[in-house]
Amino acid sequence: MEKWVLWVLLEAATVMAIASLWILWRAKKLSKPSNDKQTDSVESDESVSIEENTTLPFNNSAEDDEQSPFKAFAKALELQANEAADVLKSLRTSDDLETVTRFKLWGTLVKAERAILLNDETEKPQAILNRFMASIISTLESVKNRNLTKHSLTETLKETDAEFIQASELLISKEELVTNQRELHGELHKSIEFAEKKLNKLKVKDTELQRLRNELKKQQDQVSKLEEHAHHNQDLKQTAQAPEKDTPQIQHSSTRHLHQLERLSKRQQAIIEHLQAQLKDSANDKGDQKEKAQQMAISRMERLANESSSLIEQLQSELESTNLSISSLKQEIHDKDKQLEAIDEQLKSSEGGVLGEYQTLSSNKRDTLESILGGFANLNKDTPERAQSISEQEKEVLNLEQMLKESETCVQLLAQELESAETENVALRERIERQTKDKRNSTNAEDMPKELLELEALREEHRDLVGQIQHMKDSLLNQVSGSTEKTLRNEYNKKSLELDRLQLAYSDLERKYLGTLR
C-alpha cells in the first residue's frame, strides 16, 4: 500500500513539475522577468514534520505581483499548503493513519512545487525534490513501522487472549474435577456407612440366630425327655400285655407306644362290656350284695379306662404338637442356616470386594494419570465412534506420557553424567593432591617433568569434560526454548483438558457404579 502511494505521488510530482515549467516558460515569454526578488519563509507544520526555511525576493511593486501569473500560481500553492496544514491540525486526534499520511504527502508536494517556483529552479529542481522526497520517505517509514508495531502487538494480544482462554478453561475443568471428586468422596462415605449399617444388622441377626439355637436346644431336650417318658410307659405296658403284631405304618416310637395303649384301653373296655352282659344274664343267680360289689368294680374299671384313654389322648395330642413344633423348628432352623450362609457369603464378598475396592479407589485418587489409564477398560463403549475416540484419546495420553518420561529420562541422564563428571573431578583433584605430596616427598628430580605433563593432561581432560557438560546443558535448554516451549505448553494444556474430561467421565461412571451397589 505504501509503495503504491509513493509511486502515485512521484508521478503527480513529475506532472506538476512539468506543468510548472510550462507555466514559467509562458510567464517569462509574456512578461519581463523581474530583477529584484525577495525571499519568503515557509514554516513546516508540526504534524507533517517537514522543515522549510526558504527566503525568496519579491518585487516591491504591487501592480507587478498582481499581474504576474507566476506569483498567482505560487499564491495558490501556498493556499493549498495552508489548507493541508489546517486539515492535519483537525486530524491530530484521529486514528486514520491513511488519511493523515495522504494529507501530509499532499502538503509536502505542494510546498516542494512552491519552493521550486519561488527559487526559480525549474531547470534543475533535483536538489529541492530530493530534500522534500526525503521527508516524504521518512514519513512513510514511520507509518510503516507504526503499522508493523500495531500488527505485532495485535498478534501478541491474540496469542495472550488464546492462552488466557485456554488457562481459564483448564481452571474451570480443574474446579469441576475437584467438585466431582468431592461428590465422589461423599458417595464413598455414604456407601461405607451403608455397609457399616449392614454389618450392624448382621450382628443383630447373629445374636438372633444364637438365641434360636439355644431355644432349639431346649426344645430338643424336652423332646428327649418325652421320648424317655414314652419308653418308660411302653416298658410298663409290655409287662402287662404283649404288643400286637398287626400294627399300622411305623411312626415315631412315642407315637407307636401311645397307639398300643389306646388299643389296650379299647380291649379293656370290650372285656368290661362283656362282663356287664354276663352279669345281666346271671342276675337271678346271685345276691344283691354280690351284684353291688361287682357293679362297683365295674364302674371303677370303667373310670380307670376312661382316665387312661383321656390320658392317652392328651399324650397323643402333646406328642403330635411336639412333633409339629420340632418339624417346624427344624425347617425354620434350616431356612435360617441357608439365610445365614447367604449373608455370610454376601458379607465376605462385601468385605473383600466393595470395601477393598473403596480403599483402593481412595488410595489411588492422587495418582490421577495411572487411574485414568487403568480405567479406560471400564468405560462403557456403546458406539464404535465413541470407542474409537476413547482409543485415540488414550493413545494421545500415552504419547504425552511417553514424551514426559523421555524428557525426565534425559534430565536424569544429564544429572547422572554431571554427577559422574563431578566424581571424576573430585578423584582427579585427590590424585593431583596425592601426586603433589609424593612430589614433595620424593627427591628424584628426573620425575618432575613427567608429573607436570600428567597434571597438564588431567587439566586438559577436565576442561574438555566441563565443556561437554556445558554444551549438553545448552542443547537441552535450546530444545525446550522459544516457540517449541510455547507449542509444547499449548499441547500440554490441551491434553490436560482432555485428561480432565476423561476423569470427569470416569468419576461419573464410578458414582453410577456406587449407586448400583447401594
Does 145 or 16 have the greater pLDDT score? 16
The one-character DSSP state at 354 is I
pLDDT at 179 over 80: yes
Look at 90 and 287; give whichever has higher pLDDT. Answer: 90
Q: Which residue has the higher pLDDT, 364 or 190?
A: 190
In the chain, what percentage of residues exceed pLDDT 70?
Answer: 47
Residues 6+ apart with CB under 8 A from 252: 319, 323
Q: When comparing pLDDT for 78 and 262, which is higher?
A: 78
SS (H, E, C) 53-95: CCCCCCCCCHHHHHHCHHHHHHHHHHHHHHHHHHHHHHCCCCC
Question: For position 393, what pLDDT does the model report?
Answer: 66
Give CA torsion, residues 90, 91, 93, 96, to 10 deg.
160
The band of 163, judged by pLDDT with boundaries at 50, 70 and 90, is: confident
Average pLDDT of the residues in 391-405: 67
pTM of the full structure: 0.28
Highest mean pLDDT among 121-135, 288-302, 343-357, 460-474: 460-474
CA distance 16 to 117: 11
**pLDDT tier at 282, thresholds 50, 70, 90:** low
What distance in Å separates the CA atoms of residue 518 and residue 512, rounded to the nearest whole number?
Answer: 10
Alpha helices in 350-377 (DSSP H): 355-363, 368-375
For residues 24 and 248, which has the higher predicted lDDT (pLDDT)? 24
Q: What is the pLDDT of residue 131?
A: 75
- Asked if the model's pLDDT at residue 178 lies above 80, the reply is yes
Contacts of 517 (CB under 8 A, 6+ apart): 191, 354
The answer to whether 261 touches 237, Cβ cutoff 8 Å, is yes
Cell readout for 109 is 508536494
Contact indicator for 247, 256 with CB cutoff of 8 Å: yes
Q: How confident is the model at residue 408 (pLDDT cuts 50, 70, 90)?
A: low
CB contact set of 354 (below 8 Å; sequence gap of 6+): 191, 195, 517
- What pLDDT digit, counting tens, does each position of 83-109 carry? 878 887 887 777 676 777 777 778 778
| The pLDDT of residue 309 | 67
Mean pLDDT score, 266-290: 62
Reading the block at residue 224, the C-alpha cell is 428327649
Please check the confidence at residue 69 and state whether its pLDDT lies above 70. Answer: no
Say if residues 51 and 36 touch (Cβ distance below 8 Å): no
* Whether 34 contacts 64, CB under 8 Å: yes
Round to whole Å and give the CA distance between 84 and 491: 54
Across the chain, how many H-helices and E-strands are there? 12, 0
Q: How confident is the model at residue 472 (pLDDT cuts 50, 70, 90)?
A: confident
Distance CA 471, CA 466 (A): 9
Q: Which residues contact 133 (CB under 8 A, 6 or more apart)?
A: 10, 112
pLDDT at position 235? 62
Among 119-128, 177-186, 282-291, 373-382, the range with the most confident prediction by mean pLDDT is 177-186
| Closest of 457, 463, 454, 456 to residue 425, by C-alpha | 463
Cell 530583477 belongs to 35
Cell numbers describing residue 261: 395303649
Q: Distance (Å, rounded) from C-alpha 129 to C-alpha 358?
A: 88
Annotated domain spans of the chain = 2-124, 159-363, 380-517
pLDDT tens string 214-238 = 877 777 777 777 777 666 656 655 6
Cβ neighbors of 310 (< 8 A, separation 6 or more) are none
Q: Which pLDDT tens digit goes with each residue over 102-119?
A: 777 787 788 877 777 777
Cell of 185: 468422596
**Three-class DSSP category at 483:** helix
Say yes or no to pLDDT of 197 above 80: yes
Say if residues 96 and 115 touch (Cβ distance below 8 Å): no
- Of residues 321 and 280, more confidently modeled: 321
Separation between Cα atoms, residue 332 and residue 324, nearest integer Å: 12
Determine the pLDDT at residue 58.
37
Q: Which has the higher per-residue pLDDT, 100 or 254? A: 100
Q: Quick one: pLDDT at residue 429?
A: 75
CB 222 within 8 A of CB 329: no
DSSP string for residues in 109-141: HHHHHHHHHHHT-SS--HHHHHHHHHHHHHHHH
| pLDDT attached to residue 175 | 83
Question: From its phi and psi, is residue 94 left (phi > 0), alpha (psi between -120 and 50) or beta?
Answer: beta
Angstrom CA distances, 298 to 9, 286, 310, 350, stand at: 162, 16, 18, 76
Instruction: Report the Cα 474 to chain-centroid distance in Å.
Output: 35
User: What proportion of the chain, given as a percentage, has pLDDT over 90?
Assistant: 0
* Average pLDDT of the chain to the nearest whole number: 67
